[in-house]
Structure 1
Amino acid sequence: MLRHLILAFCLPILPTLSVAAPTRLPAGVSHVVSVEGIEEYRLANGLQVLLVPDASKPTTTVNMTYRVGSHQENYGETGMAHLLEHLLFKGTPTHPNVWAEFTKRGLRANGSTWLDRTNYFASFSSDDANLKWYLGWQADAMINSNIAKRDLDTEMTVVRNEMEMGENSPGRILFEKGLAAMYQWHNYGKSTIGARSDVENVDIERLQKFYRTYYQPDNATLIVAGRFDASQTLGWIAQSFGKIAKPKRELPRLYTLDPVQDGERNVTLRRVGGVPMAYAMYHVPPGGHPDFAAMNVLDVIMADSPSGRLHKQLVDTQLAAAVFAFSQELSDPGFSVYGVQLAPGQDIEKAQQQMLKTLESVSTQPITEEELRRARTKWEKDWQLAFSDPERVGVALSEAIAAGDWRLFFLTRDRVRALKLEQVQQVAAAYLVPSNRTLATYMPTDKPQRAPAPQRVDLAAMLKDYRGDPAATTAEAFDATPANIEARTRRFTLKSGLQAALLPKGTRGAAVTAQLNLRLGSEQSLKGQAIVAQMVAAMLDKGTATLSRQQVQDRLDELQAEVTVHGSATGATVLMRTRKEHLPAVLALVGDMLRTPSFPADAFEEVRRQSLSELESERKDPDAIVNQELDRRFNPYPADDVRHVLTFDEQASAMQQLTPEQLRAFHRRFYGGGQAQFAAVGDMDVAQVRQALDAAFGSWVAAEPHQRVPRPFIAVQPQRLSFVTPDRQNAYLRLSLALPVQELQPDHAALTLANYLLGQGGNSRLWLRVRETEGLSYDVRANVAFNPWEPNSLWTATAIFAPQNRAKVENAVREEISRALKDGFTAAELEQGRQGLLSFRRLSRAQDRNLAASLAENLYLGRDFKVSQQLDEALGRVSLAEVNAALRKYIKPESLVIGVAGDFKD
């Protein structure tokens, strides 16, 4: 609650302490420490006791602080700490009418709840009977409070009314909205009073458990301040609290912290009434951190009246009516709030701009010695006023207790006294920065617009008689074995040369998946055309000679179709998914897209901007940097060669020089269906699909013939590359090795299984070591990209990890590779891996998209699924000796090319 937010402390002139500490202690009580007249004691059950004697005023104040607030609440429990504060005053079996007793005894008593603590306090004219009674009630309330359902039912509505009262304060609600925007995970972002739904529906058993967990002597500090007899009071404390058993439960360990904020956040509140206001809120260290003292002084430097910078820049210039500031001392990283309130007619945008400029210009307008001296003097005065008043000192100590230790009350004072100008300057420059800021703005609005109120749906009632679509059919049970796939597949070739493979089978919803691969040009004809080719593919769905871009999209929606186009320097792939009855029409539309693209100028500029934006992101991405640099080493071709791996700069330059006419010229020259492969899997009429293919592509032949671009084996020198990518918290490691291996050669199966055991399966060596045992990576794997044409395949192992774990990850990967080479795999590993790999291959064949891709690729390679069956059989019979031999034959650690990138600090 806002009344608890601002607790200003400043340096002391210590009061006269007239009562000595007890020399003889009650049984079970031990003395801990004495600081400036405050004596700390500890009971055997863990209760901390602070005695702050001061005979100068005829009053006594007792404060009981529990280290529990909204910080400790779980999901669905927001507001529970505050609700419990209310229920404690509902009494115990032996103290049933607490408020009546307060009134009868003349006690000014209450409680408060905040982020890290709940406290109960009472002040009264010094009176032994009242002190003894209040101590007895506190001890009774600690473990015997009713916390009953009947009390919850009535008090919940009281708390709800308190919540409604707070809703009338735009400043309070703006503060809540600002904290919610500041904190992504930590409970400091949750309002202490809680969510209305949580307060209204709180479970009494959860509330009782919360009470039993936190309302225990080892989680509490009792403070007695003012005029009292220390020995007698300590005896009463031992008598009333000492009989409470030491709890056996362990307090929950809280560990959630928000990461460093990495950009400005803004939140706007619009309601009826009030005046505009704005809060600039910054994350600051915990109350115990040395920098926190400087934040307290900065609050005064910025917002004091009339000397504060904000006052001078906003109030004196009539940009605002008032300014304020406070920093909250908390156990975890807290916050500083700088606020500005406007008068009617003042401009909120101008006030905001000036406030932020003033706060965040310390680097160019340094703090002066005069500002520090004045702020320190004022802070010391306020601290002294709090410490010298026995009715305030208990509450002041409560904040320090909640922050971690009551002695912080004094330590912060000492730190303020010792502050140097350069310290204050450094702290201001570190924390008062835009990326650490949340700006919360209140805008009064006569007629605010609201979305409908949130509400739940009674699905049980809604779906009681629901039966679904009666026309829905059960899908065919299809056995995705190579033999069955081969038996069901229909292949043919169009007169243009387009090859097709159709696999009709029943599917849920009559779905069908298809893939069309276009093969373009040759090594010579594609020189310098890589970016043009990619851009052409990206533009194919942006409109045709007869249809606009929007019309293409509308037609796809009408046909319940999903069509995506991917392109590379040597080809384009069109992926399609639709229903049986729409497939012929989808093929007609795709034919129109591929044969008569319009390449509109506005879409061209949009795609180019998007491509340049993606390139700019990749420049700082660890994965993209490493992959590009390693791929360049395995493809050392001239800059105009289609196999050349373009740098980021080369890609950007080529993209910026492109014109729509270049795309049209490329399309006229290279696009055609003569060297294309089409495959479809799912519910279809084969005759209709063949007819649609012939109509769309039957006579379409490219002007430039296709000839596969060769990729012969090239030996690459071993090397290690390291790149620093600032502010990227996920690092990337890649190890690669060129293998003189061609797919389907005799030891293909052995090498495939060896790689699976090393780093591809969920039980692989790399996975078990790097992820499961050491917990260093979310994803670590190895793969062999087999070349079906030439003996030039690529083995690669990759891992992602936190940058500080670079050495551990790299060492673990190297050690596991070396261990596998030295010791080999075991028979148990082989059998488990064999079954896993064969199961994975069966699963892959059961996915229609994978099946369509394989059918299309097999057409180009001149294969059928008998090859897949042969590989399964070879995997089933390969021996342990063959697997270990294949690993040792091809994986050479001394020949690795290694790349690593991340935010490395060394």
Structure 2
Amino acid sequence: MRNFLLTAAVVFYAGLNTPVFAQKAETPKFVSNTEGIKEYSLSNGMKVLLLSDPSQSNAVVNIVYNVGSKHEGYGEKGMAHLLEHMLFKSTKKLGDIKKMLSDKGGNANGTTWYDRTNYYEVFPSNDENLKWFLEMEADRMINATILQSDLDKEFSVVRNEFEIGENSPSGVLMERIISAAYLWHNYGNSTIGSKEDVERVKAVTLRKFYEKYYQPDNATLIVAGKFDEKKALEYISQYFSTIAKPARVLDAPYTVEPAQDGERFVELKRAGDSKVIGALYHTAPYADKDYAALDALQEILTADPSGYLYKAMIDSHKAASVYAYQPLVRDASFMYFGLDIPADKDLKTTENDFRAELDKIATIKYTDQDVARAKAKILKQVENIKNNTIGYAVNLTEIVGAGNYKLGMIYRDTVEKLTAADIQRVAAKYFKTNNRTVGVFIPSKDEVRVKNVEYTDDQIATLTKDYKGKALEKDAAPFEASIKNLKANLTEGKLSNGMKYGLIKKDIKGGKVLGSFKFPVSNAKDLNGKSDVGSLMAQVLKTGTKSHTKEQIQDMLDEWKSNINFGFSGQTLFVNFSTYKDSLPKVTSLIKEILTESTFPEAELAKTVNEYNTYLESSLNDPQSIAFTEIEKITENYPKESIYYTASTQEQIDNNKKVKREQLVDFYNKILGSNNGVGSVIGDVDTKTTAALLESTFGKWNSKSNYEYIKPELFATKKQDKDYLTPDKENGAAVGKISFSMDRKSPDYPAFVIANEMLGSGGFLTARIPTRLREKEGISYGAGSYVNIPIDNNVASWAWYAFFNPTKKDAVNKALKEEVNKAVKDGFTEEEFKSNLTSWLNSRKTGLGNDNTLMGLVNSQLQYGQSLDEYDALEAKVSALKVSQVNDVLRKYISEDKMTSVFAGDFNKK
């Protein structure tokens, strides 16, 4: 495309008094290289951060604008978030943004928060893609159309998103507490905004907001992953440097929240099934050294199982779970504590107990061990984020929004230096009752109040100006995202007990190593009626062994910057780990210990059931939970004892209460084993050494129960619509399903895959179902379809879903079925097929850049004998299809006469 920004044309902005002229291209000016992040600047005020990682096969473009809900004025609540939605519509130069994003096949999103808005795209790395995504972001910085016709549809989508949040009691309570805690500062306002403001704002007003804040001098562009730095700078020069700096001057927000002068109380009464308590304390900005100390204190208080609040409230069974949250923000932040209460507990008694424990925070004598444990966990998280370059680039959004990307490194350095004295100091400073929002107003005298810390832009500039960071790490080696390269770097083997494994040689940043294992076990007879036992067994696995307590296990994992996760579903135990090369022997040894020496403490089972059931109780009346559960219940006819039986939420709660420790121990000793399992490890590991570690870990761990695959049954679906009423819920949900016989070897499989792409799951909200329900009619925030075509059986299904305002139920049902029937009757067009094929192929290329995708492919080859070559073979088969073949396959399997649908919501609303 020609470089339109280099022309001499005058670009006028409505709402700005001075015309803005395009300017000549310039080379970005190098500023610094801090820990591998190369900073550049443009004379128009835009900042540029480049973070290269040759080991990636993907790249990411992330642009951050310093505008969020904090910057909204009277009548503008929710405008920043609404504008984020509108920038996915179209531009004057490039046209339909969503269509183009779909064609590229990358992962794209936009998010809005208190201080910032960002847009990012992850895509297969090549010069053409990089150039296009940079051109697109430059185009929508100044050329978004923001049409009233688009806004008329989109505000309903945003309203639906708002209503989904309104279904969460804990989420609404947090919103109310935050609002009550702030008298003047805009952090007290929800980012999603006021429903009334969003519905009434006009496109011309939204455009003024856009033209004020969406400018180069208010933006930071981040490019990360695998890319040619020289060309990236050329493209940035071509597309961004030519945008002139606007004449207007952005004044920094100056509102500072005054010191709170007494405890505040909020009572929220709404329909729901869960009891929740929340408490908020005003804290410090991210740039302040106290923020890091407060983060560590948060961990010391709430960590499972060592936290002081955790022990006081959870170990005593007064509550089901406790959590804390301190947002990463530019101005003085807050710390929010949440407490989930079981249905059988008295709320007032628990509230009083919680207050008493909160009052102790300032007086507890914190130990060096407390601090060391918290630091280990936080630094593990920091290290893990840093060594995931794509995620790190997106994560920088929050830090840039807080003032400067270097603040993240300063935060890490501050955490490393924390002492017990620092924790003691912030506990005493901030955790006062007159700085808390949870209760009633109590007048008192001579209060020492906590004043919010204010940081000016100049102070942050001074703080970060000369910061050099730590020494640069060596770049990880490149790894091509292709099946050919995966095969070239794969070593397969078998342990002495028959377990199969695959080792993928791939240099991951920081020396990271990942493992994914699947252990099919037992048979229908031995697993009869034990689904709940298996699920709880996996949840309690990590809570203690003969040699280590739950606390010691967690401390070791934090020290090693590692994670181990267990899960059990159907007849398969799942084991996953994330660690680093040097810690791999210790992590595999710990996995072996957990799998062979777990003790299942009675108290931990009680806590797990308590927490799990409290979570389930919160979803008893949730429309989404009901819809997705009930569609399985009414389309399948398994007996209750079957591993494939779908229990209702209340059944799950009741079943969990009946599970005894002895059942977990018996299941653990008789059912589990690795002798029929598969697993893969990815990282820069030595093949011989890693194979020996796997042999030591799994090679002699065998199940006492004979393995026989339990094949699912095919139950035919029929035309049926069923409603489930959920009184006083603001949002509704619907799911439809058609069951049929197909596996991945079926000659119809390739055509059905692409048919589903066009019908409901492909592209960036550009398939037919989301286009009709969201883009054209604005009656659903989320709508689409998905398929389940198995490898090892032929029990397949296609399903659709939609989330909507309950008053729009009939419109959703009508639109959905019209789109399905139209596709079946008239078929897809050649243009539609080609467009979705390109998008689908690109998305699969993006997927190969994900380490978990690579391990999943290897595990499928090991478990089912599905060759890795099938990945490319499927693409070849789909690419060779004619649109007539796709239409024929769609008609063969999809029909409204076979569709069972479930609708959940308050359909009595008017």
SS of 1:901's partner is strand
CA deviation after TM superposition for structure 1 residue 861, in Å: 0.6
| 2:824 is the alignment partner of 1:821 | yes
Aligned to 1:428: none
Matches of 2:717 and 2:76, distance apart in 1: 56
Aligned to 1:443: 443
Matches of 2:265 and 2:767, distance apart in 1: 54
CA deviation after TM superposition for structure 1 residue 701, in Å: 0.4
Aligned to 1:638: 639
> Do the aligned partners of 1:681 and 1:852 also contact (CA within 8 Å) in 2?
yes
Where in structure 2 are the equivalents of 1:328-343 lying within 5 Å? none
> Do the aligned partners of 1:178 and 1:440 also contact (CA within 8 Å) in 2?
no
Aligned to 1:894: 897
Distance 1:545-1:456 versus aligned 2 partners, 3 A rule: farther
Aligned to 1:728: 729
Aligned to 1:603: 604
Matches of 2:620 and 2:76, distance apart in 1: 41
Matches of 1:778 and 1:833, distance apart in 2: 22
Where in structure 2 are the equivalents of 1:19-418 lying within 5 Å? 72=74, 185=189, 269-270=260-261
What residue identity is the alignment partner of 1:798? Y
What residue identity is the alignment partner of 1:523? A
| 2:550 is the alignment partner of 1:549 | yes
- 1:213-246 CA-to-partner distances (Å, cap 9, x unmatched) read xxxxxxxxxxxxxxxxxxxxxxxxxxxxxxxxxx
> Do the aligned partners of 1:580 and 1:685 also contact (CA within 8 Å) in 2?
no
Aligned to 1:578: 579
Distance 1:499-1:453 versus aligned 2 partners, 3 A rule: same
Aligned to 2:97: none
> Do the aligned partners of 2:182 and 2:188 also contact (CA within 8 Å) in 1?
no
Aligned to 1:507: 508
CA deviation after TM superposition for structure 1 residue 183, in Å: 12
Q: Which has the larger radius of gyration?
A: 1
Aligned to 1:718: 719
SS of 2:690's partner is helix
Matches of 1:507 and 1:439, distance apart in 2: 49
What residue identity is the alignment partner of 1:873? A
> Do the aligned partners of 1:529 and 1:569 also contact (CA within 8 Å) in 2?
no
- 1:651-685 CA-to-partner distances (Å, cap 9, x unmatched) read 22221111111100010011111112111222222
Matches of 2:463 and 2:443, distance apart in 1: 40
- 1:461-493 CA-to-partner distances (Å, cap 9, x unmatched) read 344444444351212221121121112111101
Distance 1:499-1:449 versus aligned 2 partners, 3 A rule: farther
CA deviation after TM superposition for structure 1 residue 280, in Å: 10
CA deviation after TM superposition for structure 1 residue 496, in Å: 1.7
Aligned to 1:289: none
Distance 1:843-1:74 versus aligned 2 partners, 3 A rule: closer
Aligned to 2:434: none
Distance 1:782-1:281 versus aligned 2 partners, 3 A rule: closer
Matches of 2:773 and 2:661, distance apart in 1: 49
CA deviation after TM superposition for structure 1 residue 828, in Å: 0.6
SS of 1:450's partner is coil
- Select between 594-603 and 809-818 the one with higher mean Cα deviation: 594-603
> Do the aligned partners of 1:512 and 1:579 also contact (CA within 8 Å) in 2?
yes
Matches of 1:739 and 1:279, distance apart in 2: 55
Aligned to 2:700: 699
Aligned to 2:494: 493
- 1:354-384 CA-to-partner distances (Å, cap 9, x unmatched) read xxxxxxxxxxxxxxxxxxxxxxxxxxxxxxx
Matches of 1:849 and 1:735, distance apart in 2: 29
What residue identity is the alignment partner of 2:826? D
| 2:483 is the alignment partner of 1:482 | yes
Query: Which TM-score applies when normalising by structure 1?
Result: 0.53
> Do the aligned partners of 1:531 and 1:569 also contact (CA within 8 Å) in 2?
no
What residue identity is the alignment partner of 1:846? G
CA deviation after TM superposition for structure 1 residue 452, in Å: 6.5
Matches of 1:616 and 1:654, distance apart in 2: 13
Matches of 2:733 and 2:660, distance apart in 1: 36
CA deviation after TM superposition for structure 1 residue 553, in Å: 0.4
- 1:84-126 CA-to-partner distances (Å, cap 9, x unmatched) read xxxxxxxxxxxxxxxxxxxxxxxxxxxxxxxxxxxxxxxxxxx
Matches of 2:531 and 2:702, distance apart in 1: 21
- 1:505-559 CA-to-partner distances (Å, cap 9, x unmatched) read 1122222221111212111211010100001111111121111001110111111
- 1:327-350 CA-to-partner distances (Å, cap 9, x unmatched) read xxxxxxxxxxxxxxxxxxxxxx9x
What residue identity is the alignment partner of 1:753? I
Matches of 2:264 and 2:658, distance apart in 1: 47
What residue identity is the alignment partner of 1:867? E
Matches of 2:646 and 2:880, distance apart in 1: 39
- 1:547-605 CA-to-partner distances (Å, cap 9, x unmatched) read 10011101111111122222213122122112222222211111211222111111111
CA deviation after TM superposition for structure 1 residue 717, in Å: 3.3
CA deviation after TM superposition for structure 1 residue 900, in Å: 0.7
Aligned to 1:784: 787
Name stretches of at least 5 consecutive residues in structure 1 with no aligned partner: 1-69, 77-174, 191-205, 210-266, 272-276, 284-348, 354-436
CA deviation after TM superposition for structure 1 residue 607, in Å: 0.4
SS of 2:542's partner is coil
Matches of 1:583 and 1:186, distance apart in 2: 43
Matches of 2:760 and 2:267, distance apart in 1: 48
Matches of 1:809 and 1:629, distance apart in 2: 19
Aligned to 2:768: 765
Where in structure 2 are the equivalents of 1:731-770 lying within 5 Å? 731-761=732-762, 762=764, 763-770=766-773
> Do the aligned partners of 1:182 and 1:438 also contact (CA within 8 Å) in 2?
no
CA deviation after TM superposition for structure 1 residue 714, in Å: 2.2
Matches of 2:819 and 2:603, distance apart in 1: 53
Aligned to 1:455: 455
Aligned to 2:175: none
CA deviation after TM superposition for structure 1 residue 449, in Å: 5.2
- 1:694-749 CA-to-partner distances (Å, cap 9, x unmatched) read 11111110111222110132223332111011222221111100011111211110
Distance 1:830-1:464 versus aligned 2 partners, 3 A rule: same
CA deviation after TM superposition for structure 1 residue 887, in Å: 0.5
Matches of 1:779 and 1:838, distance apart in 2: 23
SS of 1:525's partner is helix
Aligned to 1:368: none
What residue identity is the alignment partner of 2:727? P
> Do the aligned partners of 1:537 and 1:566 also contact (CA within 8 Å) in 2?
yes
| 2:801 is the alignment partner of 1:798 | yes
What residue identity is the alignment partner of 2:572? G
What residue identity is the alignment partner of 1:814? K
Aligned to 1:616: 617
Identity %, equivalent residues: 25
Aligned to 2:687: 686
Distance 1:616-1:439 versus aligned 2 partners, 3 A rule: closer
Distance 1:439-1:450 versus aligned 2 partners, 3 A rule: closer
What is the CA RMSD across the aligned residues, in angstroms?
A: 3.4
Query: Which TM-score applies when normalising by structure 2?
Result: 0.52
Aligned to 1:875: 878
Distance 1:731-1:512 versus aligned 2 partners, 3 A rule: same
CA deviation after TM superposition for structure 1 residue 181, in Å: 11
What residue identity is the alignment partner of 2:453? A
Aligned to 2:35: none
CA deviation after TM superposition for structure 1 residue 833, in Å: 0.5
CA deviation after TM superposition for structure 1 residue 895, in Å: 0.9
What residue identity is the alignment partner of 2:494? T
Matches of 1:744 and 1:800, distance apart in 2: 33
SS of 1:711's partner is coil
CA deviation after TM superposition for structure 1 residue 649, in Å: 3.2
> Do the aligned partners of 2:181 and 2:188 also contact (CA within 8 Å) in 1?
no
> Do the aligned partners of 1:804 and 1:904 also contact (CA within 8 Å) in 2?
yes
Matches of 1:183 and 1:507, distance apart in 2: 38
Aligned to 2:907: 904
Matches of 1:281 and 1:516, distance apart in 2: 47
What residue identity is the alignment partner of 1:627? F
> Do the aligned partners of 1:483 and 1:869 also contact (CA within 8 Å) in 2?
no
> Do the aligned partners of 1:268 and 1:442 also contact (CA within 8 Å) in 2?
no
> Do the aligned partners of 2:545 and 2:597 also contact (CA within 8 Å) in 1?
yes
Aligned to 2:391: none
- 1:236-291 CA-to-partner distances (Å, cap 9, x unmatched) read xxxxxxxxxxxxxxxxxxxxxxxxxxxxxxx99547xxxxx9999999xxxxxxxx
Q: How many pairs align?
A: 508
